Amino acid sequence: MTTTMKQETIPDVENVPEVAVVETALPAQTHLPRERGRVALRGRASRAGGGRSRPPRERGEFEQITIDARRVARVMAGGRRFNFSLVIIIGDKKGRVGVGLGKGVDTALAIDKATRDAKKHLFTVARTASGSIPHQVAAKYASSTVEIIPSKGRGLVAGSAVRTVLDLAGVTDVVTKIHSRSKNKLTIARATVEALKKLRVK
End-to-end CA distance of the chain: 148
Tell me the per-residue pLDDT of 99-116, one tens digit each, with 9 for 90 and over. Answer: 999 999 999 999 999 999
The yes or no reply on domain 63-123 and CATH 3.40.50.300 is no
Instruction: Give domain 125-197's CATH architecture.
Output: 2-Layer Sandwich (3.30)
Distance between CA atoms of residues 141 and 182, nearest Å: 11
Neighbours of 86 (CB within 10 A): 23
Q: Mean pLDDT in runs of 10 for the chain (202 residues)?
A: 49 50 48 49 48 57 91 90 94 94 94 95 93 94 94 91 94 94 93 94 74
Output the pLDDT for position 46.
46
pTM: 0.68
Tell me the per-residue pLDDT of 145-161, one tens digit each, with 9 for 90 and over. Answer: 999 999 988 999 998 89
Distance between CA atoms of residues 132 and 148, nearest Å: 10
In the chain, domain spans: 63-123, 125-197
Neighbours of 160 (CB within 10 A): 18
Closest CA to 174 of 189, 194, 159: 159
**29-56: b (≥16 Cβ within 10 Å) or e:** eeeeeeeeeeeeeeeeeeeeeeeeeeee
Closest CA to 158 of 101, 196, 129: 196
